[in-house]
Amino acid sequence: MTRKFEYYIKCKNCENISTTTGRTSCEFCNSNDVFKCPQSPDVAKNVAKAYLETANVLCQQTFPKLANNYMLNQDNVPTFQHASSPYYYIMPMVINYMFAIEMMFKSSLMWNAIEFELKHDLEYLFQLLTQSEKDKIIDRVIGNGPNASADFMTKLQKIKNTFVEWRYLPMEINGSEEIYIPFLVKLANSI
Ligand SMILES: [Zn+2]
């Protein structure tokens, strides 16, 4: 089955978004210098916010300390592995965070008229963000020390495919990646 996407176009000249589907030129200034978005960037951002808020509610229930203070004691919160029993209970939270992060990355790419493939891979999407956006996120999540960027990328690599690996977890037990919850929570709340 093929999924059909309705494309929106963002004008590179006047930066407006034409919401009439099927257009090839800007409906505001008629420029043909436009970028095709798989969906409206502001809709993507609102969807991301809704998933983030839901994830934070679930986090508040499961890890109230973590939810109340994303900045502290990151290393005191346990990591979870596929095979460990509590993972069933944190799956909805994890999936909501992962989807929120993915949609926020994609929304940012669309706003900046950066084309991307329709993948879930967070490392792939992050690498496409503007340098200033990447620096801002790394600074908020890790800080600005000499190893901040490398530290961030190592952690991002650990969760980059979590959405794909975890959403059907009960059917797909062969995954072995651990999930680093504090990083996930902080990243989602830092974009
Ligand atoms: Zn225009």
Tens of pLDDT, residue by residue over 95-129, are 899 999 999 999 998 888 788 888 899 999 999 99
Distance 20 CA to ligand 1 centre (A): 13
- Answer for the pair 110, 37: CB distance below 8 angstroms, yes or no: yes
20 vs 48, more confident: 48
Q: Positive or negative CA dihedral for 134, 139, 142, 144?
A: positive
Report the 10 Å Cβ neighbour count for 113: 17
Query: Under a CB-based contact definition with an 8 Å cutoff, are residues 29 and 14 in contact?
Result: yes
Residues linked to residue 8 through DSSP beta bridges, in sequence order: 37
Lowest-pLDDT choice from 13-27, 88-102, 104-118, 165-179: 165-179
Total domains present in the chain: 2
pTM of the model: 0.76
Residue 119 alpha carbon to ligand 1 centre in Å: 28
Tell me how far the alpha carbon of residue 128 lies from the centroid of ligand 1, in angstroms. 24
Domain that holds residue 100: 40-188
CA of 116 to the centre of ligand 1 (A): 21
Using the mean position of ligand 1's atoms as its centre, give its distance from the Cα of residue 5 in Å. Answer: 22
| Same-domain status, 28 and 57 | no
Do 74 and 33 belong to one domain?
no
48 and 82 part of one domain: yes
pLDDT at position 146 over 80: yes
